[in-house]
């Protein structure tokens, strides 16, 4: 009974707070409480049901395609380890493509059907499955591979008999994150001119300022995401013996020299350019909207309006940076800070943690209109959205990291009479660092996604706005330029965090860097 009460405690608390907040702000067109949301849903079951089934179908197809691609690439990387670095680099580039800009580009290439939603859903899940899967495929103890090799068998046998099964908990944890991500991708795809789906309703109700409807759609999206997240988690608990892994993106081993790594970067850039250019030539895409690398270079250098183009691009990038950096840093600081604070107050943690785990699965971007409703179209709303996007994964990862503190070392500290604060500073926080950095790294593309969506839907400034503006003006050169700029910044940001991560972990967790 008490266990049931504890499990039900935080959702009931959340609903009560929600209703209270709605009552307190009644008449301000900000917040519709659970009662109003329930009422609106009861009045419009057909509308929501049709939109939901359209979004669900798109998300499901994207989920399937993106995950199959991830599994295929991971398999290739295991059988051909030399390709591992290049493949994961390319995957990162694909993951960093800004959905807000790829959406319109897909829309003009694929037409008004479901194609773009499905592709965006697939793009959204591809990386979140690939990275844990690669980690899982390599997570088995080396002696298991010795066993396979001692019978004269090679990589394929190791993949079949050891890696495939050993990676299942990681795959499942990746799929768990991927399920809400697919839903997010589908909804962003629907934002860009689809005919049906929850994303279409979101855009419509944002324009109408229909507060209860907007909250209802966001609630349905959140509920579906939490259900998918929970369902896959339950599947894992039912069929797997192992506990699910929490750090899904462990740091990559830093073997090899600086020159070797630079060579890898150049190779990655070259292959990316070749795939981009070659893809356009191969499919014979219309040069009006399919821009090649030299077209963009010319637009920035030789074109008559090159100076204006550069200025527009840099101006927008500056506006976006001014929002994404504070939001990203605030999200990291709040996530890590709350995790550390709660570790000193375990009882409070029991109430907050299940809530955070559930909210982590909510596609925050789909709630962008709500954040904008509450915090306005200015900087505060956008920064808050970015911070929220980064906050939940950081918080959950840091809580896990704090629990990894080695018990024997804590016992030694306790033996010297060290208090909770000393234990925190000397043992728990260093133990938290690997999880923190894993979250910080994965948070870079997430933050950029959040800021571009918010700029598009709300602020009318920055790169997100430039993307949608260029798309509606059919200025595809500018659209491609923003894609390259944002993707490049994401990949560089990700790489920069990974660089800091390696330096810090070499000091605090050397076993994670050089096994």
Is 163 or 494 the residue whose CB approaches other proteins more closely? 163
Q: Which two tokens stand for residue 281?
A: 């030539």
**Residue 375 Cβ vs other proteins, minimum distance, rounded to whole Å:** 49
Q: What residue spans of 240-290 are helical by DSSP H? A: 258-283
> Whats the size of the chain, residue-wise?
515
- Say if residues 466 and 478 touch (Cβ distance below 8 Å): yes
Given the rule CB under 8 A, which residues bind other proteins? 141, 143-144, 146-153, 157, 161-162, 165, 241-242
To the nearest 10 degrees (0 to 180), the angle between helices 379-403 and 429-454 is 150
**Alpha-carbon span 360 to 230, nearest angstrom:** 11
**Alpha-carbon span 322 to 121, nearest angstrom:** 28
Is 156 or 267 the residue whose CB approaches other proteins more closely? 156
**Residue 161 Cβ vs other proteins, minimum distance, rounded to whole Å:** 7
Q: Which two tokens stand for residue 158?
A: 């190791």
Q: How many other C-beta atoms can be found within 10 angstroms of the C-beta atom of residue 339?
A: 28
Is 157 or 322 the residue whose CB approaches other proteins more closely? 157
**Alpha-carbon span 140 to 29, nearest angstrom:** 54
Is 153 or 252 the residue whose CB approaches other proteins more closely? 153
**Residue 63 Cβ vs other proteins, minimum distance, rounded to whole Å:** 25
Is 149 or 317 the residue whose CB approaches other proteins more closely? 149
- Say if residues 198 and 365 touch (Cβ distance below 8 Å): no
**Alpha-carbon span 116 to 91, nearest angstrom:** 19
Is 446 or 513 the residue whose CB approaches other proteins more closely? 513
**Residue 241 Cβ vs other proteins, minimum distance, rounded to whole Å:** 6
**Residue 158 Cβ vs other proteins, minimum distance, rounded to whole Å:** 10
Is 163 or 428 the residue whose CB approaches other proteins more closely? 163
**Residue 143 Cβ vs other proteins, minimum distance, rounded to whole Å:** 4
**Alpha-carbon span 178 to 229, nearest angstrom:** 8
Nearest CA among 168, 169, 170, 202 for reference residue 183: 202
- Say if residues 298 and 361 touch (Cβ distance below 8 Å): no
DSSP 59-76: HHHHHHHHHHHHHHHHHH
Is 496 or 510 the residue whose CB approaches other proteins more closely? 510
Is 156 or 266 the residue whose CB approaches other proteins more closely? 156
**Residue 27 Cβ vs other proteins, minimum distance, rounded to whole Å:** 59
Is 144 or 289 the residue whose CB approaches other proteins more closely? 144
Is 144 or 508 the residue whose CB approaches other proteins more closely? 144
Write phi, then psi, for 385 (nearest 5 degrees): -65, -45
> Which residue reads 């299940």 in tokens?
354
**Alpha-carbon span 316 to 452, nearest angstrom:** 11
Q: What does each C-alpha distance from 271 to 78, 87, 90, 313, 493 come to in angstroms?
A: 20, 10, 8, 25, 20
**Residue 162 Cβ vs other proteins, minimum distance, rounded to whole Å:** 7
Q: What does each C-alpha distance from 160 to 64, 77, 80, 167, 376 come to in angstroms?
A: 22, 14, 15, 11, 54
**Alpha-carbon span 328 to 391, nearest angstrom:** 8
**Residue 318 Cβ vs other proteins, minimum distance, rounded to whole Å:** 47
**Residue 200 Cβ vs other proteins, minimum distance, rounded to whole Å:** 45
**Residue 236 Cβ vs other proteins, minimum distance, rounded to whole Å:** 13
- Say if residues 293 and 277 touch (Cβ distance below 8 Å): yes
């Amino acid at each position: 009974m008490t266990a049931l009460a504890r499990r039900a405690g935080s959702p009931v608390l959340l609903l009560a707070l929600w209703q209270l907040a709605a009552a307190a702000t009644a008449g301000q067109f900000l917040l519709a409480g659970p009662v109003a949301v329930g009422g609106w849903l009861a009045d419009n079951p057909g509308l929501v049901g049709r939109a939901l089934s359209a979004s669900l179908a798109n998300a499901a197809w994207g989920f399937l395609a993106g995950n199959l691609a991830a599994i295929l690439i991971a398999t290739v990387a295991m059988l051909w380890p030399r390709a591992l670095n290049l493949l994961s680099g390319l995957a990162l580039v694909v993951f960093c493509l800004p959905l807000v800009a790829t959406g319109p580009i897909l829309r003009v290439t694929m037409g008004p059907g479901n194609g773009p939603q499905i592709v965006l859903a697939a793009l959204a899940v591809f990386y979140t499955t690939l990275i844990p899967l690669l980690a899982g495929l390599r997570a088995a103890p080396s002696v298991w591979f010795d066993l396979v090799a001692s019978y004269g068998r090679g990589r394929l046998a190791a993949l079949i008999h050891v890696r495939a099964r050993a990676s299942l908990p990681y795959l499942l944890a990746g799929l768990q994150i991927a399920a809400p991500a697919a839903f997010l991708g589908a909804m962003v795809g629907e934002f860009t001119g689809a005919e049906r789906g929850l994303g279409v309703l979101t855009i419509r109700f944002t324009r109408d300022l229909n507060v209860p409807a907007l909250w209802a759609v966001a609630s349905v999206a959140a509920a579906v995401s939490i259900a998918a997240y929970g369902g896959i988690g339950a599947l894992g608990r039912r069929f797997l013996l192992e506990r699910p892994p929490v750090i899904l993106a462990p740091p990559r081993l830093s073997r090899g020299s600086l020159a070797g790594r630079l060579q890898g970067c150049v190779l990655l850039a070259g292959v990316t350019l070749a795939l981009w250019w070659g893809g356009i030539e191969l499919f014979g895409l219309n040069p009006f909207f399919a821009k090649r690398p030299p077209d963009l270079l010319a637009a920035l250098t030789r074109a008559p309006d090159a100076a204006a183009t550069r200025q527009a691009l840099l101006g927008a990038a500056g506006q976006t940076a001014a929002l994404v950096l504070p939001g990203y840093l605030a999200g990291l600081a709040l996530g890590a800070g709350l995790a550390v604070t709660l570790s000193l107050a375990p009882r409070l943690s029991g109430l907050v943690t299940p809530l955070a785990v559930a909210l982590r699965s909510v596609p925050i971007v789909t709630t962008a209109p709500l954040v904008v409703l509450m915090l306005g179209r200015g900087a505060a709303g956008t920064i808050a959205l970015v911070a929220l996007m980064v906050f939940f994964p950081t918080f959950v990862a840091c809580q896990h990291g704090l629990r990894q503190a080695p018990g024997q070392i804590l016992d030694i500290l306790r033996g010297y009479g060290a208090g909770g604060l000393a234990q925190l500073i000397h043992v728990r926080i260093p133990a938290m660092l690997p999880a923190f950095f894993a979250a910080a790294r994965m948070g870079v593309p997430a933050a950029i996604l959040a800021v571009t969506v918010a700029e598009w839907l709300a602020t009318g400034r920055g790169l997100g706005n430039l993307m949608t503006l260029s798309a509606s003006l059919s200025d595809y050169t500018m659209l491609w330029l923003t894609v390259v700029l944002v993707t490049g910044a994401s990949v560089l940001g990700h790489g920069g965090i990974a660089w800091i991560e390696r330096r810090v972990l070499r000091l605090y967790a050397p076993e994670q860097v050089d096994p």
